[in-house]
Structure 1
Amino acid sequence: MPTLSELVDLLHGWYPPATADSWDAVGLVAGDPGQEVTKVLFAVDPVLPVAREAAEWGAELLVVHHPLFLKAVHGVPRTTPKGRTLGVLQDAGCALLAAHTNADQAVGGVSEALATSLGLSDLRPIAARSNARLDKLTTYVPAADADPVRQALGRAGAGVIGDYDSASFSSAGEGRFRPLAGANPTIGEVGELEVVDEVRIECVLPRAARPRVVAALLDAHPYEEPAYDVVELADPGTAQTGSGRIGTVEETTLGRFAQHVARTLPATAQGVRVAGDPDRPVRRVAVCGGAGDFLLDDVRRGDADVYVTSDLRHHPASEFLEHAAGGDGPALVDVSHWAAEWTWLPVVARRVADTLGATVDTRVSTIRTDPWTALHTGEER
């Protein structure tokens, strides 16, 4: 049987915690990494009914989308909702893991699952995000010392492009400098202008490796005060990960598409709210699982006919529609936060089952943890 640590590594491989937003709290919340896991329950919210379901089923791991401890707490007594939830899990020997914004943006993640469930094809992120953030380092070295410096940069992690390493570009030129009093120049004399045949070396490096690569450069460079610069490279926009998804459906109308959304997602008291002409054509659809008003500007600048997301606030939605009306921009479909994100659970449960086979049982919680329980329009008497 796999251990909890192995399950965590598997899930983190698909949804790396390093890709979560800086404010988020993801990863293993509680549990013994050495414990064997035979049953995994998947749910959107770490709430008491879900914890009880995990305990009664005998799950050793509960994987949730929303973190239990998104904000700091000073204690978890069982007189509090978080304490009661965690207490039930601990009594049952069930670990807890959260995959939140790291799962939102990933391939096979929340927004992609929502898009796929609604029948979108040819998917791409609304706002692409490359996990391979790169810098470019440029330095100037006496020609005789260029090879040792290039080798030192390569050993420190610079110069890797795809399946190639030791990648760099060099060009010849002249370096000019005058050592001042107090200097201890490798080449030249204090007070004398010096001209040196130098090589300009350029190479890319992972941004996370910047301190290590710069330290290697300073250690290997023969000059007392080497010249160098590091610039951050722009995201090329070719990444398959990122916020939201946009894709294509068979041409329909906004009214019929909204009915399709309502039939596809789990039923909730909120239902599906629509802003736009029900007869307008719909072919390009943008979606974002969870609260998606942070992408409104990106969606408006794109080619979507409609944007499906949750928790749209009055003023941002109103302003968005005013802009859209001027240029025949997208309509809006607002759905339950819980229902949109629930679509990811069968996807991740299936990935675990397909990877681990019969060694682990997986189960998706069908408890509706949407906080709203009824909708009254004022028409009922």
Structure 2
Amino acid sequence: MAAVGDLVELIDEHYPPHLAESWDSVGLVCGDPLDTVTAVLVCVDVTDAVVDHAIAHGVELIVAHHPLLLRGVDTVGAHTPKGRIVHRLVRAGCALVTAHTNADIARPGVSDALADALGVLDTRPLQPTTAPALDKWVVFVPVGDTDAVADAMFRAGAGAIGDYSRCRWQVTGSGQFLPGDAATPHIGTRGEIETVVEDRLEMVAPRSRRDAVLAALRDAHPYEEPAFDVLVQAALAEDRGLGRVGRLAEPTTLSAFADHVASALHLAPWGVRVAGDPDAEVATVAVCGGAGDSLLDAATASGAHVFVTADLRHHPADEHLRTGGPALVDAGHWATEFPWCAQVAGVVSAWDPSLVVDVFEAPTDPFTVHAAGDGGSGE
């Protein structure tokens, strides 16, 4: 049977914790990794209503997008609102795991789910992450010692490319050197030019492992002064990151697209806000689940006709439009992240079809009332 720890590993596999922003808090919040799980509930926010539902339906694990405990937490006493939730979960034997900015950046992730819900095709990251910094090592080794040097560098952390390890390339050539008077050469004689058949050995390693790889190279290499190069590789964009941009199957107008957003998403009561020319053509769409005004410049640079996100502020939105940026559709924080819940439910169900997997569909957006007013000037 599935255990809490198994499901935490599954979530981490799809939304790797190392992708999370440094300020974020993701992973297991409460619960015993060894406890058995038969039912899972997926939600955006962990509220009292979510916990009520979990307890009533015998849920042993909640997977949430927003962290329950993030900044400045120094107590989970039951006298505090969030502490009360933790106590209720623990007493009910219900674990809680969160995937926040790691789920925003992963692919597929939060913005992929939003793009899919809106029918945005052929997406790419709006703000791609860059691959980890790597060094390219080039080492010249006497033919008989190549394997020993390579093995030592592998043990120090070199030679990994994605899911592959012990990766290396080599070619055989001729090396030349002249030992000086103070040298103690492994091969050759002081004062005489020596030519040796050597392998040119190449592999990559994380920049963070540079000192360890160098120490391993020197320790395993037979030469007193090994010949090697360390080349710093360019940082390349990855196929993941914040936001997505893609195309619609058929161009439409901003007004019609806004109606499409309103019908495609499970909205909070206040609906969507739209900024831009209602008759403007929309063919290329940028999206970012949750607060996305930090990506306004990226949306402009992407060539999108409209940017769908949430929590847009008056002045950044106004300045964005004044400088010719794409039209804006603010569909609400909860609504633009809610499609991710179905994505997670699909991941869990595919992993173990025997699990009961549910999505908490009632909006947990704190804004619950919409008063339209008479549309007057307000003056």
Q: Are the aligned partners of 1:52 and 1:88 in contact in 2 as well (CA < 8 Å)?
A: no
C-alpha spacing 1:144/1:310, structure 2 compared with 1 (3 Å): same
5 Å-filtered alignment, 1:79-228, equals: 79-129=79-129, 134-141=134-141, 145-161=145-161, 165-170=166-171, 172=173, 200-206=200-206, 210=210, 212-224=212-224, 226=226, 228=228
What's 1:241 paired with? 240
Question: CA–CA distance in 2 between the matches of 1:177 and 1:274?
Answer: 74
What's 1:332 paired with? 328
Question: CA–CA distance in 1 between the matches of 2:217 and 2:290?
Answer: 45
Shift of 1:28: 0.7
Question: CA–CA distance in 1 between the matches of 2:110 and 2:80?
Answer: 29
Shift of 1:204: 1.7
Shift of 1:296: 2.1
The aligned amino acid for 2:168 is A
Shift of 1:287: 0.5
The aligned amino acid for 1:168 is W
Determine helix, strand or coil for the equivalent of 1:244. Answer: strand
Structure 1, unaligned stretches of length 5 or more?
A: none
What's the CA shift string for 1:85-136, capped at 9, x where partnerless?
1111111110000011111122231110000001111122222336665432
C-alpha spacing 1:213/1:87, structure 2 compared with 1 (3 Å): same
5 Å-filtered alignment, 1:336-375, equals: 336-358=332-354, 360-375=355-370
TM-score by length of 1: 0.86
The aligned amino acid for 1:304 is A
Question: CA–CA distance in 1 between the matches of 2:365 and 2:180?
Answer: 70
C-alpha spacing 1:163/1:73, structure 2 compared with 1 (3 Å): closer
C-alpha spacing 1:166/1:62, structure 2 compared with 1 (3 Å): closer
Question: CA–CA distance in 2 between the matches of 1:366 and 1:4?
Answer: 23
Q: Are the aligned partners of 1:170 and 1:202 in contact in 2 as well (CA < 8 Å)?
A: no
Shift of 1:143: 6.2
Q: Given the alignment of the two structures, is residue 318 of structure 1 paired with residue 314 of structure 2, yes or no?
A: no
C-alpha spacing 1:353/1:170, structure 2 compared with 1 (3 Å): same
Question: CA–CA distance in 2 between the matches of 1:180 and 1:48?
Answer: 80
The aligned amino acid for 2:93 is G
What's the CA shift string for 1:253-300, capped at 9, x where partnerless?
011101111122222244211121111111111101111222222221
The aligned amino acid for 2:357 is T
The aligned amino acid for 1:37 is V
The aligned amino acid for 2:358 is R
Determine helix, strand or coil for the equivalent of 2:370. Answer: coil
Determine helix, strand or coil for the equivalent of 2:345. Answer: helix
What's 1:61 paired with? 61
Q: Are the aligned partners of 2:159 and 2:167 in contact in 1 as well (CA < 8 Å)?
A: yes
The aligned amino acid for 2:339 is T
Q: Are the aligned partners of 2:160 and 2:205 in contact in 1 as well (CA < 8 Å)?
A: yes
What's 1:267 paired with? 267
The alignment-based identity, stated in percent, is 48
The aligned amino acid for 2:338 is W
Question: CA–CA distance in 2 between the matches of 1:210 and 1:68?
Answer: 38
Determine helix, strand or coil for the equivalent of 2:239. Answer: coil
What's 2:300 paired with? 300
Q: Are the aligned partners of 1:43 and 1:364 in contact in 2 as well (CA < 8 Å)?
A: yes
Question: CA–CA distance in 2 between the matches of 1:222 and 1:184?
Answer: 11
Question: CA–CA distance in 1 between the matches of 2:297 and 2:180?
Answer: 53
What's 2:8 paired with? 8
Structure 2, unaligned stretches of length 5 or more?
A: none
Q: Are the aligned partners of 2:20 and 2:26 in contact in 1 as well (CA < 8 Å)?
A: yes
Q: Given the alignment of the two structures, is residue 47 of structure 1 paired with residue 42 of structure 2, yes or no?
A: no
Q: Are the aligned partners of 2:290 and 2:311 in contact in 1 as well (CA < 8 Å)?
A: yes
Determine helix, strand or coil for the equivalent of 1:290. Answer: strand
Question: CA–CA distance in 1 between the matches of 2:80 and 2:207?
Answer: 42
Q: Name the stretch that deviates more: 215-224 or 131-140.
A: 131-140
Shift of 1:160: 4.5
C-alpha spacing 1:79/1:264, structure 2 compared with 1 (3 Å): same
C-alpha spacing 1:156/1:308, structure 2 compared with 1 (3 Å): same
Question: CA–CA distance in 2 between the matches of 1:131 and 1:45?
Answer: 31
Question: CA–CA distance in 1 between the matches of 2:123 and 2:14?
Answer: 18
Determine helix, strand or coil for the equivalent of 2:204. Answer: strand
Shift of 1:226: 4.4
Determine helix, strand or coil for the equivalent of 2:363. Answer: coil
C-alpha spacing 1:50/1:177, structure 2 compared with 1 (3 Å): farther
Question: CA–CA distance in 2 between the matches of 1:137 and 1:314?
Answer: 51
C-alpha spacing 1:232/1:94, structure 2 compared with 1 (3 Å): farther
C-alpha spacing 1:92/1:282, structure 2 compared with 1 (3 Å): same
C-alpha spacing 1:87/1:380, structure 2 compared with 1 (3 Å): farther
The aligned amino acid for 1:240 is D
What's the CA shift string for 1:192-224, capped at 9, x where partnerless?
798775765332235565555334213212345
The aligned amino acid for 2:335 is A
